[in-house]
Chain A
Amino acid sequence: MTVAEQQIARLPQRARPARDARGGRQRWVRRLPLLPALIYMIVITQIPFLVTLWYSLQNWNLLSSAKAKFTGLSNYGSVFTNSSYRSSLLVSVEMTAAAVIVSMLLAVALALLLNQKVLGRGIARTLLITPFLVMPVASALLWKTTMLDPTYGLVNWLLSPFGVNHVAWLSSHPLGSIVVVLIWRWTPFMTLIVLAGLQGQPLDVLEAARVDGAGPVMIFRRMTFPHLRPYIELGTLLGSIYIVNTFDEVYSMTSGGPGSITTNMPYYLYEQAFQAYNIGGAAALGVITVILTMIIATFALRLIAGVFRFEEAIT
């Protein structure tokens, strides 16, 4: 017996003999399968963030031969006084809000439709989810060229009966064009989540409401929508977290331009790090971005915890 164990043995908890050496070993046996995954994740995801924090306090440019110099919070100061950063923040917010809201509205509509008895529902759903599966870089490049091209683009041709005449979408509506592509890619994701919610709706209760004479609008407002709410919230938050990080579309369609109209936060950070090689500044941007994302993520985590307890209660 070690000294520590003797001390524990003298404590009032003596009545619980499970806390002996065997119990400790048992706990480690239980933890063992989990440890490799946890260690892997900590090493690869947490350490870089700590290093980011450290870099963000230094004046360090890879292009200059000068060594990194500790400068305290000055990088943060320049981030906040820098109008390009503020504008990229605004672009991110606009892009994310527009894409998430429209995608979610479409998703609720599509999920309600797909939940009806519809001919070829499985095939329709399969076609509908395909945009989410296409490699984002590939779809962004094709939207830029074959779809949105002012002269030969399919979109202008489809809209020509409505008086649209060879619009150069990417130069006249750059942000709008990217948002449309984001909506196209993310609506399927949200539809699947809302549809999962709809299919979990207890049918007997709906039937009872119908027998009691509730109309479709009433059923949606009083029963379906409240039931869907956590799923809509979950889809909105997960969608926001993913869409805030949009990089592929901006890189392949506009490179942040024209000017910096479509430069969102991830793209601005990329420019700072890999075109200006401003490591300290990019790191400070990274830290601020993490903090902003954490605010959304906290809500998302809470929600997932809620949904997930709810699913657990069912199974």
Chain B
Amino acid sequence: MTAIARTRTPRRPPSRYLRRWSGPVAWTAVVWIAAIAFFLPVLWMVLTAFKPESSAYSYPPRFTFSPTLAEFRAVFSRGIGPYLENSIFATVGSTIIVLALALPAAYALSVRPVAKWRDSLFFLISTKMLPIVAAIVPIYIVARDIHLLDNIYALVLLYGAMNLPIAVWMLRSFMLEVPSETLEAARIDGANLRQEIGRVITPIIAPGIAATALICVIFAWNEFFLAVNLTSTVAATVPVFLVGFITSEGLFWAQLSAAATVASVPIILIGWIAQRQLVRGLSMGALK
């Protein structure tokens, strides 16, 4: 738009400034209106979390109020602590498993590929496309029979399987960017497989590994379906704590918002940090 305007300006000198600036200003306005519209529910969540309960229920909605941390304290005294611990354990544990398995696998699918690497890659991604609801019945019954119901390790293992394909695809796309001369040099110097992955490739793609880990953290932290069906009291995670509000939400909007803020803000920050790599994760490494 701007460039078009510029090519036409010589013919219409009076409107030159108008044309040059009206485009960008209009676009800026539209972009910001859209961005704020999408962000508004999140902003409202954070604002409501700092309100006293009585201000949360007011019409018209209140934008000014004296902020209080009372609802956050209420959330912790309601017992979000163990749920947070479970969520952190399931998220960190599954991400460690994912990285430990995905790094060598990505290596075997990119740097020194196995014979049918394409088939393996597509097998991995196809598992991601199968609906988890379809597998929940046997997962539930097997977990029950091997005493993994309401056990956080069940979630660790399942979240690992949920994120492993994404991690392999992402790490593979980062490994393809490692210059082959570097790898040649390492091999000539006599590096074995473990040294090649650990000492040569890993340091080069460290930012990529970090981004992959962050993506896995986002998905594991936000997962609800498996958590609600496989855990009850001991191993329940934060989303399960939140749906506990469904029975009583009529009275506790500010508290619900505070709990939702505690549950979401860490992941929002991580997502903001990893946003440049987000698209690579979402498209399984197909896009950069």
Contacts and interface: CB of A to CB of B under 8 A. Distances in A.
B205 to A, nearest CB: 14
Interface in A122-179: 123-139, 141-147, 151-152, 154, 157
Contacts of B221: 135
Contacts of B158: 44
A46 interface: yes
Q: Closest 8 CB pairs between A and B? A: A33-B104, A286-B134, A138-B260, A37-B105, A133-B271, A51-B138, A297-B129, A34-B108
B80 to A, nearest CB: 12
A194 to B, nearest CB: 10
Given A31-B114, A131-B38, A142-B44, A52 B138 contact: yes
Interface in A89-138: 110, 113-114, 116-121, 123-138
A224 interface: no
Given A134-B264, A152-B58, 7 more contacts: A30-B114, A36-B105, A110-B34, A124-B34, A139-B45, A146-B44, A289-B134
B24 to A, nearest CB: 6
Interface in A246-289: 247-248, 251-252, 265-266, 269-270, 273-274, 279, 282-283, 285-287, 289
A289 B242 contact: no
Given A121-B31, A138-B264, A241-B129, A193 B38 contact: no
Given A133-B264, A146-B257, A274-B229, A44 B48 contact: no
B42 A45 contact: no
Interface string B268-288: 101110010011001111111
Interface string B29-63: 01110111011111011001000000011111100
Interface in A34-49: 34, 36-38, 40-41, 44-49
B149 interface: no
B9 to A, nearest CB: 14
Interface stretch (B11-19, B65-73, B119-127, B181-189): B119-127
Name the interface size band of chain A. 35 or more
Interface string B84-106: 00000000000000000110110
Nearest to B129: A297
A204 interface: no
Interface stretch (A10-18, A79-87, A301-309): A301-309
B146 interface: no
A34 B104 contact: yes
A131 B264 CA distance: 10
B282 A247 contact: no
B153 interface: no
Nearest to A138: B260
Interface SS majority for chain A: helix
A286 B135 contact: yes
B101 A151 contact: no
Given A41-B165, A137-B224, A184-B38, A196 B246 contact: no
Contact of B243 (A118, A196, A252, A304): A252
Given A37-B105, A137-B239, A248-B225, A142 B260 contact: yes
B70 to A, nearest CB: 17
B245 to A, nearest CB: 6
For B132, B135, B193, B249, the residue with the greatest tally of chain A CB atoms inside 10 Å of its CB is: B135
A136 B268 contact: no
21 contacts: A32-B104, A34-B108, A36-B104, A41-B124, A51-B138, A113-B27, A116-B31, A119-B24, A125-B275, A137-B222, A137-B224, A142-B257, A146-B253, A147-B44, A207-B3, A231-B287, A247-B133, A270-B229, A273-B140, A286-B135, A304-B286
B75 interface: no
A123 to B, nearest CB: 8
A157 B286 CA distance: 42
B191 interface: no
A242 to B, nearest CB: 9
